[in-house]
């Protein structure tokens, strides 16, 4: 019944939001508490009323804004779709999610840190393996087993699919490559899926 007071949650959320934006723009080290406070419309001291340190704020932001449920949200029935439909739906879905503003901010924030921070790197690797790749592995393994897809290494298939999608996203949004930004998500999806399917689909004579 009693909940954490609304206002407190709002302020925390507000600071976390500000942090997300500033970190995404400047990176963790270059972002100052002053920056974050300005973005949140408060004074730097107040950050410490809600968080133990700049790092604690960063970590809490990761937890609260982490889109762990990328693939989880996929309904189980999808597994039974024909491989082509499934992939097309999945890739488009992922593209939409990943290219959403929130997710891009998150990527910009976490990516530079992952490279430098072993803790984060371990954490992220686990997430990738257990949440994303495991799901794709299941799918590919199943479809390869029932003959819908050409037999092969389902692990590597998943890795390449994700890699291809992410390489588009990175070039589009980290490098701001206008050549690629000109493409619609549907076009990208089709290109990727075509490439993958024609390679994975068993040969008809």
Partner DNA sequence: AATGAATGAGTGTTCATTCAT
Partner DNA sequence: TATGAATGAACACTCATTCAT
Stretch that binds DNA, among 28-36, 61-69, 157-165, 187-195 (CB under 7 A): 28-36
Gap between the Cα atoms of 76 and 22, Å rounded: 37
Q: Which of 96, 121, 130, 184 binds its own copies (CB under 8 A)?
A: 121
Binding of its own copies at residue 164 (CB under 8 A)? yes
Tokens of 177: 């490559």
Q: Which of 74, 81, 141, 197 binds its own copies (CB under 8 A)?
A: 197
Establish how many alpha carbons lie within 13 A of residue 110's alpha carbon, considering only the half-sphere containing its beta carbon. Answer: 21
Q: Which of 177, 181, 184, 186 binds its own copies (CB under 8 A)?
A: 177
Is the Cβ of residue 71 or residue 200 nearer to its own copies in the bound state? 200
CA distances from 182 to 161, 164, 177 (A): 21, 17, 9
152 by DSSP, 3-state: which? coil
Spatial CA neighbour of 16 closest among 86, 82, 75, 64: 64
Q: Which stretches of the chain bind its own copies, using CB under 8 A?
A: 25-27, 29-30, 83-84, 108, 111-116, 121, 124-125, 128-129, 147-150, 152-153, 155-157, 159-160, 162-164, 166-168, 171, 174-177, 179-180, 191-192, 194-203, 205
């Amino acid at each position: 019944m009693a909940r954490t007071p609304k206002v407190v949650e709002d302020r925390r959320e507000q600071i976390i939001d500000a942090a997300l934006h500033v970190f995404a723009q400047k990176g963790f080290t270059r972002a100052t508490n002053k920056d974050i406070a300005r973005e949140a419309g408060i004074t730097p001291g107040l950050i410490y009323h809600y968080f133990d340190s700049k790092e604690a704020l960063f970590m809490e932001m990761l937890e609260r804004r982490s889109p762990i449920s990328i693939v989880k949200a996929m309904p189980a029935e999808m597994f039974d779709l024909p491989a082509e439909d499934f992939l097309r739906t999945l890739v488009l879905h992922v593209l939409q999610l990943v290219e959403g503003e929130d997710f891009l901010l998150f990527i910009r924030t976490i990516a530079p840190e992952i490279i430098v921070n072993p803790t984060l790197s371990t954490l992220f690797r686990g997430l990738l393996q257990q949440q994303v790749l495991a799901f794709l592995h299941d799918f590919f393994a199943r479809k390869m087993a029932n003959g819908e897809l050409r037999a092969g290494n389902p692990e590597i298939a998943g890795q390449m699919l994700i890699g291809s999608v992410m390489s588009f996203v990175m070039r589009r949004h980290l490098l701001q490559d206008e050549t690629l930004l000109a493409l619609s998500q549907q076009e990208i999806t089709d290109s990727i899926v075509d490439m993958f399917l024609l390679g994975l689909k068993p040969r008809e004579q």
